[in-house]
């Protein structure tokens, strides 16, 4: 029996659609969730889609993914650059992991150029706006189909 694809979103992504729309666009988190659910369903998968401003909550969801997910897409947001704890949790996940960013962190402030979470990911999607999520769902679905 297949397990869901987890999509985990970090701090401030609850403000999508209103937060710095010149960087993040006008799509709300609810709209993004609906887009991802539609794409996953088209590819034959269910989603577990969540957002938290709490590092602890994200770690707990990563722990759930260890045995409960077929794939994991994570946009750790600002935790990308600070959280060894999220990296340590991700290192225990055996399903495919894609790190995702709406903007391109390498075109932004220098402190955003380093990612801890990349060390655990099979792939990285950045700078494609919210459409990056659709590409990430497709990439995970393709990886699962190849197994």
d(CA 96, CA 141): 10
Q: Tell me how far CA of residue 31 lies from CA of 35, 36, 51, 127, 130, in angstroms.
A: 6, 9, 13, 19, 10
Tokens encoding 135:
């590409």
Out of 45, 101, 116, 133, which one is annotated catalytic? 101
With tokens 């790190």, the residue in question is: 99
Instruction: Return the closest-CA partner of residue 85 out of 106, 62, 108, 103.
Output: 62
* Annotated catalytic residue 116: no
Active-site residue, 101 included:
yes
DSSP annotation of 111 reads G
Write down the catalytic residue from 24, 45, 116, 133.
24
Residues known to be catalytic: 24, 101
């Amino acid at each position: 029996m297949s397990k869901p694809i987890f999509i985990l979103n970090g701090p401030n992504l609850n403000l999508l659609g209103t937060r710095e729309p010149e960087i993040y666009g006008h799509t709300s988190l609810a709209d993004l969730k609906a887009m991802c659910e539609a794409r996953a369903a088209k590819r034959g998968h269910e989603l577990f889609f969540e957002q938290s401003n709490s590092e602890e909550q994200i770690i707990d969801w990563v722990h759930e993914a260890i045995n409960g997910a077929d794939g994991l897409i994570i946009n750790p947001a600002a935790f990308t650059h600070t959280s060894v704890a999220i990296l340590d949790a991700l290192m225990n996940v055996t399903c495919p992991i894609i790190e995702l960013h709406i903007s391109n962190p390498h075109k932004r402030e220098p402190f955003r150029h380093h990612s801890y979470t990349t060390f655990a990911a099979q792939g990285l999607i950045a700078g494609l706006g919210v459409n990056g999520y659709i590409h990430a769902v497709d990439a995970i679905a393709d990886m699962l189909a190849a197994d």
